[in-house]
C-alpha cells in the first residue's frame, strides 16, 4: 500500500474528518453495521484459520518469540481457531442464532426483563476484552421469545470486534425486528480492558450505554426498568 492510500484512508469521512492521530485512544464508531468487506465470506473458515495462523506466527516472530519452544509453537493455530470459531464467530451471519417465537398465551403484557447476561466481547480499536453485563427487556406485541434466545442474541453480537454503543444498538435493532415491536430496551454495563489494563489504566471505571425504544422511552418506564434491574 502506498503512503498516499494510507493518508487517504486516515482522512476519510468515516472518521468524521479526524485523523487516526487526532482520535488517538478515543473510541469512535461509524455506524450501526459492523464494517465488513463485501467479500468477507468468499473464503472458508478453514482457509481463514490457516491464514491467521501464518500471520499471527509472523507477529510473534517479529516480537522475537522463539516459536520452536514447546509452549509457544501451538499458539498461532490456537489463536486462529479461537478467533474464527469462538471470540469473533459473530462476524459470520451463518452463526446467527435461529429464533422461534411463540404466541403470548399467558397474556402477559408487562415488561419482561432478562438481566445480568454476562458477555465477553473485544474492543475493535485494541483487540482486548470488553467484559460486561447486558440487560434486555421487551413488551410483547403478541409474540414471546424463549429466554435463552435473548441471551444468545447478546452473545452473537458480542462475539465481534466491537464498540459498546454499536453492540447496544445492534442487539436492540435485532430484537425489534425479531419481536415485531419497538418496545425494546437494552442496557449494557461493561469494563473495557483497553481502559483498565493499559492507556489511562483506570481500573474502577465502567461504561454504561442504553437503548429505550417505543414504550420504554418515558421517564416512568425507564425508572420501572431500572427498578427491575437493581432489585
According to CB under 5 A, which one of 49, 125, 159, 166 is a site residue for Zn ion? 125
The size of the chain, in residues, is 231
Do residues 168 and 131 make contact, with C-beta atoms less than 8 angstroms apart?
Answer: no
Among candidate residues 126, 155, 162, 170, the one labeled active-site is: 126
Do residues 161 and 127 make contact, with C-beta atoms less than 8 angstroms apart?
Answer: yes
The minimum distance between CB 22 and Zn ion, in angstroms, equals 16
Is 192 labeled as catalytic in the residue annotation? yes
Segment interacting with Zn ion (CB under 5 A) among 12-20, 117-125, 160-168, 211-219: 117-125
Helices within the chain (DSSP H only): 3-10, 20-23, 45-62, 75-81, 147-158, 164-179, 193-196, 219-230
Calpha distance 50→55 (Å, rounded): 9
Straight-line distance from the first to the last Cα atom of the chain, in angstroms, rounded to the nearest whole number: 55
Segment interacting with Zn ion (CB under 5 A) among 63-71, 106-114, 186-194, 219-227: 186-194
Is 124 labeled as catalytic in the residue annotation? yes
Is position 159 an interface residue for Zn ion (rule: CB under 5 A)? Answer: no
The minimum distance between CB 195 and Zn ion, in angstroms, equals 7
Q: Grid coordinates representing 33?
A: 453495521
Calpha distance 150→120 (Å, rounded): 15
Give the distance from CA 93 to its chain's centroid: 14
Residue nearest to Zn ion (CB): 194
Do residues 158 and 119 make contact, with C-beta atoms less than 8 angstroms apart?
Answer: yes
87/194 with CB nearer Zn ion: 194
According to CB under 5 A, which one of 145, 150, 194, 225 is a site residue for Zn ion? 194
The minimum distance between CB 208 and Zn ion, in angstroms, equals 16
Is position 160 an interface residue for Zn ion (rule: CB under 5 A)? Answer: no
Calpha distance 152→93 (Å, rounded): 13
The minimum distance between CB 230 and Zn ion, in angstroms, equals 28
According to CB under 5 A, which one of 123, 163, 167, 172 is a site residue for Zn ion? 123
- Which residues carry out catalysis? 123-126, 164, 192, 194
Interacting residue ranges for Zn ion, rule: CB under 5 A: 123, 125-126, 194
Amino acid at each position: 500500500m502506498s503512503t498516499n492510500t494510507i493518508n487517504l484512508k486516515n482522512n476519510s469521512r468515516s472518521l468524521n474528518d479526524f485523523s487516526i492521530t487526532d482520535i488517538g485512544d478515543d473510541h469512535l464508531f461509524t455506524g450501526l453495521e459492523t464494517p465488513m468487506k463485501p467479500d468477507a465470506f468468499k473464503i472458508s473458515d478453514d482457509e481463514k484459520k490457516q491464514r491467521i495462523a501464518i500471520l499471527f506466527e509472523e507477529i510473534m516472530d517479529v516480537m522475537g518469540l522463539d516459536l520452536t519452544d514447546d509452549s509457544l509453537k501451538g499458539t498461532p493455530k490456537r489463536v486462529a481457531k479461537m478467533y474464527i470459531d469462538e471470540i469473533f464467530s459473530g462476524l459470520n451471519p451463518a452463526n446467527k442464532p435461529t429464533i422461534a417465537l411463540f404466541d403470548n398465551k399467558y397474556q402477559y403484557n408487562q415488561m419482561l426483563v432478562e438481566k445480568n447476561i454476562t458477555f465477553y466481547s473485544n474492543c475493535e480499536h485494541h483487540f482486548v476484552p470488553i467484559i460486561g453485563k447486558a440487560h434486555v427487556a421487551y413488551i410483547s406485541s403478541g409474540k414471546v421469545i424463549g429466554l435463552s434466545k435473548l441471551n444468545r442474541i447478546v452473545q452473537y453480537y458480542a462475539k465481534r470486534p466491537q464498540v459498546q454503543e454499536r453492540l447496544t444498538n445492534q442487539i436492540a435493532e435485532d430484537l425489534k425486528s425479531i419481536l415485531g415491536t419497538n418496545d425494546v430496551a437494552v442496557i449494557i454495563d461493561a469494563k473495557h480492558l483497553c481502559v483498565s489494563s493499559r492507556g489511562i489504566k483506570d481500573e474502577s471505571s465502567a461504561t454504561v450505554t442504553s437503548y429505550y425504544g417505543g414504550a420504554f422511552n418515558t421517564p416512568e418506564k425507564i425508572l420501572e426498568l431500572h427498578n427491575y434491574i437493581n432489585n
